[in-house]
Structure formats: C-alpha cells, structure tokens
Amino acid sequence: MSKPTNTSLKRSSRVAALSLGALGIVYGDIGTSPLYAIRESFVAQDLAVMEENVLGVLSLFFWSLLIVVSIK
C-alpha cells in the first residue's frame, strides 16, 4: 500500500474544509431564516400575538424545517 503524498493530503483537507463550510452555510441559513419568517408572520400579516397563534406559527415552522432538512 502506498503512502499518500503531501499534495493529496493538502487537497483532501481543502475539500473537507470546503465541504464543512458549505454545510455551515446551508444549515446556518435554515436555522436563521425562520426567525425572520416568524417576525413577518406576526408583523406583516397583522396577526395578534396570542398563545394559539404563536403555537400555530411555531408548529408550521417546525414541520417545514423538518421536511426541508430531511429532503436536503
């Protein structure tokens, strides 16, 4: 079995770093977007901040995120 060369080690570490960065961008965006969407659900739609409305909006976001993350 041959030893990996220095160049191949650098390349594989670069690919690993880029892959990790891409995952961070995708899942970081998925994590922060709902915060803005929740705010818009109440402000832009003139929805009253009541317990039922908050739980309904949170439920919609939970299931949406679950489906999006599962498919991605």
First-to-last CA distance in the chain?
A: 37
pLDDT digits (tens, 9 = 90+) for 37-52: 777 777 877 778 889 9
pLDDT at 9: 63
49 with 42: CB under 8 angstroms? Answer: yes
Which pLDDT score, from 0 to 100, does residue 1 have? Answer: 54
Task: Quote the pLDDT of residue 54.
Answer: 85
Amino acid 72: pLDDT: 67
Q: To the nearest whole percent, how much of the chain has pLDDT over 70?
A: 75
Whole-angstrom Cα distance, residue 39 to residue 56?
A: 14
Whole-angstrom Cα distance, residue 39 to residue 31?
Answer: 14
Angle at 51 between CA 47 and CA 52, to 5 degrees: 70
Q: Looking at the whole model, is its pTM more than 0.85?
A: no
Q: Scanning the structure block, which residue is given the tokens 């080690």?
A: 9
